[in-house]
Structure 1
Amino acid sequence: MTHTVILVVLDGLNYTVARHAMGHLQAYVGAGRAALYQLTCELPALSRPLYECILTGVPPIESGIVHNNIARLSNQRSVFHYARDSGLSTAAAAYHWVSELYNRSPFVIPRDRHTRAADLPIQNGYFYWSDHYPDSHLFADAESLRLAHAPDFMLVHPMNIDDAGHKHGLDTAQYRNSARSADIILADYLQGWLDAGYQVLVTADHGMNNDRSHNGLLPEEREVPLFVLGDAFSLDPQATPRQTELCGTICELLGVAHDKPVCRDLLRLAS
């Protein structure tokens, strides 16, 4: 059976903060309707390399996207490529680096801010370029895309948690409250997505440290959450997903051919 999928990447969200600050998501876990797993992000713990890792299943050291200033198209195949090539529809409300990785590089604001192009991997997109672009606007952008295009796969990628971490650090009220705010905003949309039949994954690219940065091996920089919601997930507490398995697992949910690693323990066996 094939499914539609929404992937939410809450940029810069540390696992421990996600575990204690995301009350709405944790309500689903407590009700037995979701599961929370801890992932260890690949290295380096930087955004553009890990967008590439999440969406292609390829670690940065192999993809060549090894820091944030490498602005070029990916030379790997992403979820967007597999979905488009299988005749599915794709969408993203995301930071402009995602557009540069999979659609066109460099990002040209008047051309790429609003994307409608059936031939591109990300066919329908709203892309932003300021880290303080409000999460409330970003989620509204995503919902607008969903309602207008009913994408089979959609990426939702807000930045305010990461922005708060860079301004204030991990162990601060501002960082924790930014996570709480994202959880509250997500609460406006999550049940509607599930009611529409979407399988939902909520994760992060990397965490944050008290130096207001991330790039190294500290647990607070590398440990990130993965919430999964939807009837296609096993909710198996013994599952041990890896960040490199997210692309292939999403492709399995979409029912598209791919050659990526998969965490099969995350998925409910077909009857």
Structure 2
Amino acid sequence: MSNKVILVVLDGLNYQVARDCMGYLNGLLEQQRASLYQVECQLPSMSRPLYECILTGVRPVDSGIVNNNVVRLSNQSSIFSLAASQGKVTSAAAYHWISELYNRAPYHPVLDRFTNDETMNIQHGCFYHWDHYPDEALFLDAEYLRRTYHPDFLLIHPMNIDDMGHKYGLDSRQYRNCARGADIILSNYIEQWRRDGYQIMITSDHGMNNDLSHGGILAEEREVPLFVIGDKFTHHACQVEQTEICGNVCQLLNLEHSKPYTQELLAL
């Protein structure tokens, strides 16, 4: 039996800020309703390369998506392509680079912002191209997609935490408060997602530094959280690699695949 999966990628969220500031998620941890793993992101610690890593399991130096200016379709199998080709329903509320990687490149707002095409890897999408697009609106987009199309796999990818980091830096109240805001938004949805049968993974592509950037090897740039919520996770202590997130989702979706995954993480 397959499970439905929601993968939330909170762009630019540093591990320690998630641990210190996200009270609802930490409340689930305290009550043993979730588990948290520290993940080291691949290099370079940049967004587009790491979207590709998370969604295909392939390191940037191997995928060829090595910086944010590489604008082309992915040439790797992804969660989206594997799920769509095996009869699953796929959906994403995400930054437009996700559309460029898995649906069509370059992104054309008029044609691609709202996608409803079962021939695409991402069949149902709400994409945005403003870094300041409100997280609250993005989660509403995602919930519309979820309730309308009942996807087996839904990617939710808000950008405001990263945007605040680029404006004010890691050690700023604006960055921390934006993480707190994302936690509040998540608290309004997670219980309903669980009642509707979703396994939930919440992570980030990369962290942030005090130079208002990321891209290198500093711990604050590379250390990101992975919260898992659901009965198909063991909740045991284990090491999860960023390259295994794709395979973990594929396992949960009961897809045929050859991706690496974390056997100790999954109760399957």
TM over 0.5: yes
1:103-125 per-position Cα deviation (integer Å, ceiling 9, x unaligned) = 00000001000000001000000
Percent of paired sites with the same residue: 59
State the shift of 1:2 in Å: 1.2
Q: Which letter does structure 2 place at the counterpart of 1:133?
A: Y
Counterpart in 1 of 2:242?
Answer: 243
Aligned residues: 268
CA distance in 1, matches of 2:49, 2:198: 27
Counterpart in 1 of 2:265?
Answer: 266
Counterpart in 1 of 2:214?
Answer: 214
Unaligned regions of 5+ residues in structure 1, if any?
A: none
Counterpart in 2 of 1:186?
Answer: 186
CA distance in 2, matches of 1:234, 1:23: 23
CA distance in 2, matches of 1:226, 1:246: 9
Counterpart in 1 of 2:141?
Answer: 141
Q: Does 1:196 align with 2:191?
A: no
State the shift of 1:236 in Å: 0.3
SS of residue matched to 1:184: helix
CA distance in 2, matches of 1:147, 1:42: 33
CA distance in 2, matches of 1:261, 1:23: 32
Unaligned regions of 5+ residues in structure 2, if any?
A: none
Counterpart in 1 of 2:60?
Answer: 60
1:130-159 per-position Cα deviation (integer Å, ceiling 9, x unaligned) = 000000000000000000000000000000
List aligned pairs for 1:113-192, cutoff 5 A: 113-192=113-192
Counterpart in 1 of 2:90?
Answer: 90
Over the aligned positions, Cα root-mean-square deviation in angstroms equals: 0.5
SS of residue matched to 1:37: strand
SS of residue matched to 2:51: helix
Counterpart in 2 of 1:107?
Answer: 107
Runs of 4 or more consecutive aligned structure 1 residues displaced over 4 Å after TM superposition:
none
CA distance in 2, matches of 1:217, 1:256: 33
1:167-215 per-position Cα deviation (integer Å, ceiling 9, x unaligned) = 0000000000000000001111111101101000000000000000001
CA distance in 1, matches of 2:86, 2:174: 43
SS of residue matched to 1:92: strand
State the shift of 1:55 in Å: 0.1
Q: Which letter does structure 2 place at the counterpart of 1:205?
A: D
